[in-house]
Structure 1
């Protein structure tokens, strides 16, 4: 083996080690790599939302009106065209009958309007547009596309969504992570919260419904 071949081999090994380190970094818990900050109820209470049920009205609605007289379960959607988001929307929609009995209203909040009409076919609740992205804060968590593509759980979630027959597209902004929040009636605040940690990271349905059913008990 010549001197050039040795340097070439060392270079390839160095590149492999760098790639391995990047992959390990990408698969660390995102609360370490992207950071996180607890959602502040006051931060979303005073924001204004636009109903996409009747967008022609162009009338902004104070968010706290939605939970003034009943509890509200909010799905904060990363991207309406994403099949992973649609899978979670479909899963939450299966619970709508139970949520209705527990007097919990189901809604979704989006930060863009791309493909909302198709998203409706998977979601059984009302959809609102959050221009200020309050529901995605107070510290927005952005996951670069390269980061998500190197995560093992991304492919696991994609496989499950495909097997469930969910369809999606690549329209819109995918990097801004969402979540699920259960808001109490009036100013009871946030009763349950789930921060999307990676693409397709769904809320734990059993924990969520445990909280809902406990609240529904007399």
Structure 2
């Protein structure tokens, strides 16, 4: 699977010398860099060779073929020329194996990301740093004291173009094919196991109260990944309240069952790949672990997840998913006898994920989408079967609703201010 590390993405090619400029101009993470368009490239004076390299590497990243990045770039061929080569030429010139050749030549939307393809937001230029009101806890979710806080304005050249682009992107990602929008609480189906002899564990049907998550104590393990970022927090971060995460902006909280699990890594990867969309909607992304194994955090971040990683020592987020108690399942009954869990495993395996078996893997995870301030939990997804993912269409739709609510509240406040100032 393609890594979210910028160093691995640019490799040893011509983009490496551009890293300082990319950092300066705000193209400082892989998902954002991949949506750079021709106009953006011209603005930072990229050469044609650098443009070709970015196109090639973005294409390879979508197909988990970054292992061939340096050799393909060194050929000095552009992407259309490479795609016109025969199977024999790709094998002899670049040492591609048959499976990699098939993936490389597959131009279908199954490999590319249709949501990001039509949506090309642009980072703000040389943004000033934004300080937290609580420096002891939240100052450095980004790169030290100069984190660039994402905002909706960061991603638009004009309000008209922005709205049109976002509307087209959302239209492509609407819930369809008979999927029922489940709203506040969602979970995968409870299919029979072992011919009905094993019953799936029950899940709650009520959203967790805000009081169950607002005061959770967390410890920051990694910052949000940017170019040149330290791999881990060097000094032990002080505990902080979870409410600090969504004090100013809504937040997606991804509760990871086990960072070495192939299905957990796949879920984290496909969610973080949509970072530009969440940024544009004003949504932050956080991953929460219930177990701190430093080697596992190093393997997980930033390869599979480039956002902030937090440690929930008391497993309180995981308890909130289960209505106050941990949701657990056994390997035999929950995986071996569960056809949906096996299908989830095959889905993750097809994405080229690696895995290990370190750590506790029976505690179920899930996802929360928490509104700004004390507005509460807008959405909660429970991992009923091992490897269940929150449907991205559902998550993004809720995020869009939150954005609309905030914009409506902002318009109401401005209208009230106008009335007070003008006496109408």
Q: TM-score range by the shorter chain?
A: 0.7 to 0.9
Match of 1:97 among 256, 269, 276: 276
Matches within 5 A, 1:198-213: 198-213=385-400
Distance 1:56 1:107 in 2: 20
**Following TM superposition, by how much is the alpha carbon of 1:164 offset from its aligned partner in structure 2, in angstroms?**
0.6
Match of 2:213 among 21, 36, 44: 44
The aligned residue for residue 24 of structure 1 is: 196
Q: Quick check: 2:193–2:339 contact (8 Å CA) kept in 1?
A: no
The aligned residue for residue 125 of structure 1 is: 307
Q: Quick check: 1:79–1:110 contact (8 Å CA) kept in 2?
A: yes
Q: Quick check: 1:96–1:124 contact (8 Å CA) kept in 2?
A: no
Match of 1:141 among 327, 343, 353: 327
* SS of structure 2 residue aligned to 1:30: coil
Structure 1 pair 168–215 and aligned structure 2 pair: CA distance change class (3 A): same
Structure 1 pair 163–142 and aligned structure 2 pair: CA distance change class (3 A): same
**Following TM superposition, by how much is the alpha carbon of 1:22 offset from its aligned partner in structure 2, in angstroms?**
4.9
Structure 1 pair 117–186 and aligned structure 2 pair: CA distance change class (3 A): same
Distance 1:210 1:145 in 2: 33
* SS of structure 1 residue aligned to 2:394: helix
Deviations 1:44-85 (A, max 9, x none): 111110000226234101110111111000000100110100
Matches within 5 A, 1:104-183: 104-114=283-293, 115-120=296-301, 121-137=303-319, 138-148=324-334, 149-183=336-370
Structure 1 pair 81–36 and aligned structure 2 pair: CA distance change class (3 A): same
Deviations 1:173-202 (A, max 9, x none): 110001011000000110011011011001
Structure 1 pair 72–25 and aligned structure 2 pair: CA distance change class (3 A): farther
Match of 1:71 among 236, 243, 250: 250
What 5-or-longer segments of structure 1 have no aligned partner? 1-19
What 5-or-longer segments of structure 2 have no aligned partner? 1-191, 223-232, 408-424
Match of 1:83 among 262, 282, 285: 262
Deviations 1:82-125 (A, max 9, x none): 01000000111011111111111000010012311111111121
The answer to which structure has the higher strand fraction is: 1
Structure 1 pair 169–51 and aligned structure 2 pair: CA distance change class (3 A): same
Distance 2:393 2:284 in 1: 18
Q: Quick check: 1:136–1:178 contact (8 Å CA) kept in 2?
A: yes
The aligned residue for residue 383 of structure 2 is: 196
Structure 1 pair 37–129 and aligned structure 2 pair: CA distance change class (3 A): farther
* Structure with bigger RCO (C-alpha 8 Å, 6+ apart): 1
* SS of structure 2 residue aligned to 1:45: coil
Q: Quick check: 1:37–1:139 contact (8 Å CA) kept in 2?
A: no
The aligned residue for residue 186 of structure 1 is: 373
The 4+ residue runs of structure 1 with deviation greater than 4 A are 20-23
TM-score (norm 2): 0.44
Structure 1 pair 102–146 and aligned structure 2 pair: CA distance change class (3 A): same
Q: Quick check: 2:247–2:373 contact (8 Å CA) kept in 1?
A: yes
Distance 2:338 2:351 in 1: 21
Distance 1:104 1:73 in 2: 7
Distance 1:44 1:187 in 2: 11
Cα RMSD, aligned residues only: 1.8
Larger gyration radius, structure 1 or structure 2: 2
